[in-house]
């Protein structure tokens, strides 16, 4: 479960740094790669929401356009699994993220000096692969701690982490700030949590 779908080169952070030298818009990718490897992936699942996490969650919901949505902690992994099963990919929050992701991609492409597939595409691939490795290890550690034996649930957790890191990289390439909603969502993962779904007035966080 922990192996990234794309094979990592021998020195992925050096590759990311080299891409940043070719494309200034990608200069922050190496730092993001290092952060991905240090992040507390899934370490604080089910814990009460401390003030930093609550502030990040509220800022994410507001920036995404859902200021009425309040963070709600999912205490048990089965609660998170149930929330995941009932999560509809056609929710307003999902559609809002899709629109943001598309806009970031266009903005990132516009910032590049050369072909996107040779630089942005490669940078995103490396970020995803690093995240799959690091988040996969974190998910396995948490699975042992919480007694989670649902492989599908764990794959969904790692997949969500990989998507969030991909989006955080797009935020950087597009020249956006840490206040961007997809950057804030990544910060929730960085804090050891998993924002499982935003439905109605509830932002469900495991």
Q: In this structure, are strands 70-73 and 202-205 parallel, antiparallel, or unpaired? A: parallel
Please check whether residue 4 lies inside any domain of the structure. no
Instruction: Provide the 3-class DSSP secondary structure of residue 202.
Output: strand
Beta pairing, strands 195-199 & 202-205: antiparallel
Q: Is 3 contained in some domain?
A: no
Domain housing 81: 13-205
Per-residue confidence of the chain (206 residues) as pLDDT tens digits?
Answer: 444 446 676 789 999 999 999 999 999 999 999 999 999 999 999 999 999 999 999 999 999 999 999 999 999 988 998 888 766 677 899 999 999 999 999 999 999 998 888 899 999 999 999 999 999 999 999 999 988 889 999 999 999 999 999 999 999 999 999 999 999 999 999 999 999 999 989 999 99
Contact criterion met (CB below 8 Å) for 161 and 127: no
**Which pLDDT value is given to residue 9?**
66
Task: Please indicate, yes or no, if residue 8 is contained in any of the structural domains.
Answer: no
User: In this structure, is residue 74 part of a structural domain?
Assistant: yes
For residue 126, tell me if it sits in a domain.
yes
Q: How far apart are CA 165 and CA 159, in angstroms?
A: 10
Residue 205 tokens read as 């966080």
β-pair type (70-73, 195-199): unpaired
Residue whose token pair is 């070719």: 22
Is residue 6 included in any domain, yes or no? no
Of the candidates 14, 4, 1, the one whose C-alpha atom is nearest the C-alpha of residue 123 is 14
Query: SS3 string of 8-53?
Result: CCCCHHHHHHHHHHHCHHHCCHHHHHHHHHHCCCCCCCCCCCCHHH
| CA–CA separation, 53 and 72 (whole Å) | 11
Q: Residue 108: which of 57, 184, 180 has the closest Cα?
A: 180
- Is 55 a domain residue? yes
pLDDT of residue 4: 43
pLDDT at 146: 87
- Identify whether 67 is part of a domain: yes
d(CA 55, CA 178): 14
Q: Where are the beta strands (DSSP E) in the chain?
A: 70-73, 195-199, 202-205
Across the chain, how many H-helices and E-strands are there?
Answer: 8, 3
What is the predicted pLDDT for the residue at 87?
Answer: 62
pLDDT of residue 2: 43
Give the total number of structural domains in the chain. 1
């Amino acid at each position: 479960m922990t192996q990234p779908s794309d094979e990592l080169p021998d020195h992925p952070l050096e590759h990311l740094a080299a891409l940043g030298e070719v494309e200034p818009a990608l200069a922050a990718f190496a730092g993001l790669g290092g952060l991905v490897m240090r992040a507390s992936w899934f370490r604080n699942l089910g814990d009460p929401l401390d003030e930093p996490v609550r502030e990040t969650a509220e800022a994410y919901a507001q920036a995404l356009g859902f200021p009425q949505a309040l963070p709600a902690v999912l205490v048990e992994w089965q609660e998170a699994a149930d929330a995941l099963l009932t999560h509809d990919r056609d929710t307003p929050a999902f559609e809002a993220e899709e629109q943001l992701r598309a806009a970031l991609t266009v903005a990132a492409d516009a910032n590049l000096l050369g072909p996107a597939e040779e630089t942005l595409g490669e940078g995103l691939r490396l970020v995803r692969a690093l995240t799959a490795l690091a988040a996969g290890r974190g998910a396995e550690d948490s699975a042992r701690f919480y007694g989670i034996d649902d492989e599908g649930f764990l794959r969904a957790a790692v997949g969500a982490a990989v998507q969030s890191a991909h989006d955080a990289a797009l935020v950087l390439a597009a020249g956006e700030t840490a206040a961007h909603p997809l950057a804030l969502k990544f910060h929730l993962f960085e804090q050891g949590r998993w924002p499982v779904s935003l439905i109605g007035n509830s932002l469900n966080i495991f």
